[in-house]
C-alpha cells in the first residue's frame, strides 16, 4: 500500500498507540478524581500538556485540550467574537482557510459581524499588506492559517500579525497551525499569535484530540458549559487516552530530520511528475514539502483518485473535509476550472518512501493514458 494522504490523517505511531492502550486499561482513572487513580491520570494529563506546549513554545497553563482542529478553530473564532463584540464588529480571515474557519466566519457574518475575506495572490500566499489594509479601528479578530492544507503554501504569519498590530494593537491574532505543527518549528511568541490551533491526528496520534493555545491575558468566551476541566474553557471529562498519546507523538518529533527527508521525496516526486505530459504543479515554490498539489491533465480528480486506489495508491482531491466538492482554495488562487477539476493533493509523512512516489507517478502516467480514452 502506498499511502500519500497524510494531510487528511496519519497512521498512529506504535508508541502513541501503546500509550493510549495503557491509559485505557491501566491508568484509566478520571483526572478530576481525588483518589490515587485520579492523581495518576492527572499526572498523565499534565505530562501530555507539557509535551504539546513545549512544541509551541508556550506555558502549560496557556494550553487547552479540545476534540481536534475544528473545535479549536471554532472556539478561537466564536469565543473571541463574543468576548470582543462590544469593542468592534469586523473579523478578517483569509479566503483559503480550512472549512472550520470558513463556516465559522459565515455563521458569524449571518449573526451580524462584518467578515472581510482576503484572497491570496497568484502564488497562493496571503500577504501582510493585503491583510493590514483590511484592518480598521473596529477590527477585533484576524485569522490566517500558517500552512494551507491543500497547497502547502506557507503564510508569513509573523509579518502579517506584526502589520495587523501596527494598524490596531487590540486585534486578537489567531492562526490555524494544524498542517504546520510537527513539520516546522513553531514558536507562538515569534509568530506574534494570541491563539493557535493544532490537531493530534495529523502528527501520528489518534483522531478526536487537539489543542488551543490561548495567550495569557487574552479572554475568550467558552462554547460549552459544565465542570471545571480545562479551566472551564473546555469542560467535560478529558479524553485522556487520546491526549496522552498526543503527548507521546509530540515527544517523537524530529522536525529537522523529517523535513530534510520529505523535502527530498517532494523534489523526487516533482522531477518525475513534470516529465509526465499534462501534469502541472499547483503548489507554490516555497510550499511546505509535506504537501504537493498537482493537476493531472483533463481527467477529473475523483476519477483519477479511484484509478490510483485500484493500484493501492492513496491521495486526495483536496481537503478531506470537502468530501469531493470543488476546491475554493484553487479557485481563489485564480486557477482555471480545468486545472481545479483535475487537482490532486499528495501529502507525505515521515514514513513515506521513494517507492510510494514511484508507484504514484507510474499510476498517474497510466491513468492519463487509460482514462483519456474512456
Query: Where do the domains of the chain lie?
Result: 2-10+254-371, 14-251
Q: What is the pLDDT of residues 208-239, one digit of tens each?
A: 999 999 999 999 999 999 988 989 899 999 99
Residue 324 pLDDT: 54
CA 165 to chain centre: 24
CB 101 within 8 A of CB 143: yes
2-10+254-371 and 14-251 share one CATH topology? Answer: no
CA 11 distance to own-chain centroid = 16
Q: Which of 173, 209, 250, 321 is catalytic?
A: 321
The pLDDT, as a whole number, for residue 374 is 52
User: pLDDT, tens digit, for every residue of 147-186?
Assistant: 999 999 999 999 999 999 999 999 999 999 999 999 999 9
Q: What average pLDDT score do residues 31-57 get? A: 96
Do 319 and 291 touch, CB atoms closer than 8 A? no
Mean pLDDT, range 130-136, rounded to an integer:
98
Distance CA 132, CA 165 (A): 8
Give the class (CATH, top level) of 14-251: alpha beta
Q: Average pLDDT for residues 16-32, to the nearest whole number?
A: 97
* Nearest alpha carbon to residue 124 among 287, 310, 321, 253: 287
Name the pairing type of β-strands 63-66 and 195-199. unpaired
Confidence of residue 298 (pLDDT cuts 50, 70, 90): confident
Strand-pairing partners, residue 232, are none
Report the CATH architecture of 2-10+254-371: Alpha-Beta Complex (3.90)
Q: Extract the C-alpha cell encoding 136.
A: 480598521
Mean pLDDT over 230-252 rounds to 95
Catalytic, 321? Answer: yes
Amino acid at each position: 500500500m502506498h499511502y500519500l494522504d497524510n494531510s487528511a490523517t496519519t497512521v498512529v505511531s506504535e508508541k502513541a498507540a501503546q500509550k493510549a492502550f495503557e491509559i485505557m486499561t491501566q491508568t484509566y482513572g478520571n483526572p478530576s478524581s481525588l483518589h490515587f487513580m485520579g492523581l495518576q491520570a492527572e499526572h498523565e494529563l499534565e505530562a501530555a500538556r507539557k509535551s504539546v506546549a513545549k512544541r509551541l513554545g508556550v506555558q502549560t497553563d496557556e494550553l487547552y485540550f479540545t476534540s481536534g482542529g475544528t473545535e479549536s478553530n471554532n472556539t478561537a473564532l466564536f469565543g473571541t467574537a463574543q468576548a470582543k463584540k462590544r469593542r468592534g464588529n469586523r473579523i478578517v480571515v483569509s479566503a483559503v482557510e480550512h472549512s472550520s474557519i470558513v463556516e465559522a466566519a459565515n455563521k458569524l457574518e449571518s449573526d451580524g459581524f462584518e467578515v472581510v475575506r482576503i484572497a491570496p495572490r497568484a502564488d497562493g500566499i496571503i500577504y501582510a499588506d493585503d491583510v493590514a489594509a483590511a484592518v480598521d479601528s473596529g477590527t477585533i479578530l484576524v485569522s490566517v492559517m500558517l500552512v494551507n492544507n491543500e497547497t502547502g503554501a506557507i503564510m508569513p504569519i509573523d509579518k502579517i500579525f506584526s502589520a495587523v498590530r501596527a494598524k490596531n494593537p487590540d486585534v486578537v491574532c489567531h492562526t490555524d497551525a494544524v498542517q504546520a505543527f510537527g513539520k516546522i518549528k513553531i514558536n507562538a511568541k515569534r509568530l506574534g499569535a494570541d491563539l493557535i490551533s493544532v490537531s493530534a491526528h495529523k502528527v501520528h496520534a489518534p483522531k478526536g484530540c487537539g489543542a488551543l493555545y490561548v495567550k495569557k491575558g487574552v479572554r475568550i468566551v467558552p462554547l460549552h458549559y459544565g465542570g471545571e476541566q480545562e479551566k472551564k474553557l473546555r469542560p467535560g471529562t478529558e479524553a485522556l487516552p487520546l491526549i496522552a498519546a498526543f503527548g507521546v507523538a509530540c515527544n517523537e518529533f524530529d522536525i529537522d530530520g523529517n523535513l530534510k527527508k520529505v523535502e527530498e521525496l517532494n523534489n523526487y516526486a516533482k522531477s518525475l511528475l513534470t516529465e509526465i505530459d499534462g501534469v502541472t504543479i499547483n503548489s507554490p515554490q516555497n510550499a511546505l514539502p509535506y504537501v504537493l498539489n498537482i493537476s493531472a491533465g483533463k481527467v477529473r480528480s475523483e476519477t483519477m483518485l479511484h484509478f490510483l486506489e485500484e493500484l493501492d495508491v492513496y491521495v486526495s482531491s483536496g481537503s478531506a473535509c470537502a468530501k469531493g466538492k470543488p476546491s475554493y482554495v484553487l479557485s481563489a488562487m485564480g486557477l482555471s476550472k480545468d486545472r481545479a477539476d483535475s487537482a490532486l493533493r499528495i501529502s507525505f509523512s515521515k514514513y513515506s518512501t521513494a517507492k510510494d512516489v514511484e508507484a504514484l507517478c507510474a499510476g498517474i502516467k497510466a491513468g492519463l493514458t487509460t482514462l483519456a480514452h474512456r
